[in-house]
């Protein structure tokens, strides 16, 4: 018979093993960061081998049958699982989920996926350069075929669909039906709102986006803002890279990056605040559980809710600019010739329907994501053939954003995701915006003077609120459950629409 003491030993054994495996993962993370930020180009070949070896070892150690035995012993312990939301119960639940998923895929399929993802990226880059979808089509057809087989291996719930199985890797517990239920109303209201906005009698100033500020001065300013909003430089770095990202081996060693252009002050600042939000989420995870699911983030959607919180709810607010504007004038005044608060705030909030997702503003961004979700869902269900993607893509851009896509390079070939065999990923961007708006409404209920605080350069209370209500829970809840637990309501399009209407209405005079 298993006694409580025996089983707690079994749990300790499991956690020791998992923490050991996490050391490999953390090492790979630092090597990956180094590759993007520090490594000379000559290092690439061996770096790829180093990372492949660590990934292989990690997979081997984690899928060891002994992990299965330890998990089963822990699952059989009633005392350990008495409170399903306690850290040990959550760790066992999440590790079982990972173990089941990692052992469901045949190794031939994993190898085929790695090969196709590499081939896919190569072919996609060529196709994009030539703006020729036909060049990419055969590989994408193979990728779609592989992804449908992969989804079959994972399986999905009764009434679900293949998309659900793939989205589990990015947004556990999320289904296409759930996404469609929230995106549908958002799309309809956003479309009507954008039409009104573009016909509005006013336009915000854009002058601050036309000013050039030397990059070293921008770097200095971005560090000041990062520090002011609460990014912890004792447990984090800020560097530059081609594509901004956040990584880190554990909550006490977080690496964020940003990028600068002399004529792109707002883009860099927004990018830095965005990555700070990701970084502060990671820094807020419980240090006592490092190396286990109880010190890991919930999902990409919740991660994005934290980055958008600081980028949009804080960094594009009038209150923030009341604090930031005099500092901008102090730092770069000689180049700014009478830059007013309205200029600075307006320039951070220009809405322009376009065809490029990564250049989209806060209001139109979600339309780009919804196009991708609708297409990938149809592709995986077999309702849309790969050859018909460009036509469908362009038709949806015309319908939702009112723009004519000029060519495939600026249309369906603009994103790398599908070429890397990642489907089920895109919606996490908009889920992040939706969760963000709903969380921020709750934060304002709990702390009604938040905007006055921002105006005074005080951001600590919001950070502490996020630490306590979101970060400290690590993987305790699924994203949708956390939302209900924290806001008392299921995720809905209402808070995001209220936020967009309240902000852009006055700026555009509607």
CA distance linking residue 231 with residue 222, whole number of Å: 11
Total of residues contacting Co ion (CB under 5 A): 1
Would you state the structure tokens that stand for residue 33, as one six-digit string? 């960061």
Would you state the structure tokens that stand for residue 144, as one six-digit string? 């779609």
- Give me the least distance between CB of 420 and Co ion, in Å please: 16
Give the residue ranges of DSSP H helices in 131-264: 133-154, 162-167, 176-198, 215-229
- Alpha carbon distances (Å) from 349 to 266, 311, 430, 459, 509: 10, 12, 18, 21, 14
- Give me the least distance between CB of 422 and Co ion, in Å please: 15
Q: Does 428 bind Co ion (CB under 5 A)?
A: no
Active site residue 275: yes
**Are the C-beta atoms of 306 and 462 separated by less than 8 Å?**
no
List the x/- string, 295-314, binding to Co ion by CB under 5 A. Answer: ------------x-------
The residue count for the chain: 510
The closest alpha carbon to 355, from 392, 391, 390, 397, belongs to 397
The per-residue DSSP string of 55-80 comes to: HHHHHHHHT-HHHHHHHHHHHT-TTT
Of 178 and 281, the one with the shorter C-beta distance to Co ion is 281
- Pairing of the two strands 246-250 and 253-258: antiparallel
The closest alpha carbon to 252, from 269, 234, 266, belongs to 234
CA distance linking residue 301 with residue 437, whole number of Å: 12
CA distance linking residue 115 with residue 153, whole number of Å: 18
Of 7 and 366, the one with the shorter C-beta distance to Co ion is 366
- Give me the least distance between CB of 307 and Co ion, in Å please: 4
List the x/- string, 387-416, binding to Co ion by CB under 5 A. Answer: ------------------------------
- Give me the least distance between CB of 300 and Co ion, in Å please: 8
Specify which residues 247 forms β-bridges with: 255
The closest alpha carbon to 309, from 507, 463, 172, belongs to 463
Of 175 and 258, the one with the shorter C-beta distance to Co ion is 258
Give the DSSP letter of residue 420: G
Cβ-based burial of 294 (10 A; exposed 0-12, middle 13-18, buried ≥19): buried
- Alpha carbon distances (Å) from 469 to 231, 284, 337, 495: 18, 11, 43, 18
Site for Co ion in 142-171 (CB under 5 A): none
Please measure the distance between the N-terminal and C-terminal CA atoms of the chain and give it in whole angstroms.
71
Of 323 and 429, the one with the shorter C-beta distance to Co ion is 429
List the x/- string, 307-346, binding to Co ion by CB under 5 A. Answer: x---------------------------------------
Q: Token match 């081939």: residue?
A: 119
- Give me the least distance between CB of 428 and Co ion, in Å please: 9
- Give me the least distance between CB of 432 and Co ion, in Å please: 7
Of 307 and 364, the one with the shorter C-beta distance to Co ion is 307
Q: Which of 94, 168, 275, 282 is catalytic?
A: 275
- Give me the least distance between CB of 261 and Co ion, in Å please: 19
Would you state the structure tokens that stand for residue 70, as one six-digit string? 């330890």
**Are the C-beta atoms of 269 and 344 separated by less than 8 Å?**
no
Of 300 and 379, the one with the shorter C-beta distance to Co ion is 300
- Give me the least distance between CB of 246 and Co ion, in Å please: 7
Give the DSSP letter of residue 297: -
Of 154 and 245, the one with the shorter C-beta distance to Co ion is 245
- Give me the least distance between CB of 281 and Co ion, in Å please: 10
**Are the C-beta atoms of 423 and 380 separated by less than 8 Å?**
yes
Q: Give the residue at shortest CB distance from Co ion.
A: 307
At residue 293, φ and ψ (nearest 5 deg) are -60, -25
Of 307 and 349, the one with the shorter C-beta distance to Co ion is 307
Of 162 and 279, the one with the shorter C-beta distance to Co ion is 279
- Alpha carbon distances (Å) from 266 to 258, 323, 375: 12, 15, 32
Q: Name the residues that contact Co ion, by CB under 5 A.
A: 307
| Residues known to be catalytic | 275
């Amino acid at each position: 018979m298993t006694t409580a003491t025996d089983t707690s030993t079994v749990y300790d054994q499991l956690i020791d093993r998992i923490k050991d495996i996490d050391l490999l993962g953390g090492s790979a993370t630092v090597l990956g960061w180094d590759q993007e930020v520090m490594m000379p180009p000559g290092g690439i070949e061996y770096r790829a081998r180093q990372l492949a070896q660590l990934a292989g070892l990690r997979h081997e150690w984690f899928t060891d049958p002994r992990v299965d035995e330890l998990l089963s012993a822990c699952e059989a312990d009633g005392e350990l699982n008495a409170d399903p939301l306690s850290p040990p119960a959550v760790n066992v639940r999440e590790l079982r989920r990972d173990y089941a998923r990692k052992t469901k895929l045949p190794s031939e399929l994993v190898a085929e996926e790695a090969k196709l993802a590499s081939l896919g990226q190569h072919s996609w880059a060529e196709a994009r350069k030539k703006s020729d979808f036909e060049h990419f089509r055969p590989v994408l057809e193979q990728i779609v075929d592989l992804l449908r087989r992969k989804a079959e291996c994972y399986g999905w719930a009764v009434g679900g669909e293949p998309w659900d199985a793939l989205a589990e890797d990015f947004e556990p517990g999320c289904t296409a039906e759930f996404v469609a239920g929230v995106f549908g109303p958002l799309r309809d209201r956003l479309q009507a709102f954008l039409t009104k906005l573009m016909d509005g009698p006013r336009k915000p100033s854009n002058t601050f986006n036309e000013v050039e500020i030397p990059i070293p001065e921008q770097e200095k300013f971005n560090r000041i803002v990062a520090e002011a909003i609460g990014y912890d430089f004792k447990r984090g770095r800020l560097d530059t890279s081609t594509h901004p990202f956040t990584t880190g081996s554990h909550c006490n060693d977080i690496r964020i990056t940003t990028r600068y252009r002399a004529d792109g002050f707002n883009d860099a600042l927004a990018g830095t605040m965005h990555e700070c939000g990701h970084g502060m989420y990671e820094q807020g995870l419980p240090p006592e559980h490092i190396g286990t699911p109880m010190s890991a983030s919930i999902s990409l959607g919740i991660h994005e809710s934290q980055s958008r919180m600081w980028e949009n709810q804080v960094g594009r607010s009038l209150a923030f600019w009341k604090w930031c504007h005099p500092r901008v004038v102090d730092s770069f005044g000689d180049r700014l010739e009478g830059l007013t608060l309205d200029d600075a705030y307006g320039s951070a909030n220009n809405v322009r329907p376009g065809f490029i997702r990564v250049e989209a503003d806060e209001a139109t961004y979600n339309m780009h994501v919804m196009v991708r979700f609708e297409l990938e869902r149809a592709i995986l269900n077999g309702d849309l053939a790969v050859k018909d993607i460009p036509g469908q893509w362009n038709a949806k851009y015309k319908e939702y954003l009112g723009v004519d896509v000029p060519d495939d390079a600026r249309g369906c070939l603009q994103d790398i995701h599908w070429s890397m065999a990642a489907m089920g990923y895109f919606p996490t961007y908009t889920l992040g915006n939706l969760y963000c708006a709903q969380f921020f409404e709750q934060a304002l209920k709990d702390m009604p003077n938040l905007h006055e605080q921002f105006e005074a350069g005080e951001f600590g209370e919001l950070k502490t609120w996020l630490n306590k209500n979101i970060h400290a829970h690590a993987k305790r809840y699924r994203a949708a459950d956390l939302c209900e637990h924290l806001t008392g309501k299921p995720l809905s399009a209402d808070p995001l629409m209220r936020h967009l209407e309240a902000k852009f209405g006055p700026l555009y005079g509607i």
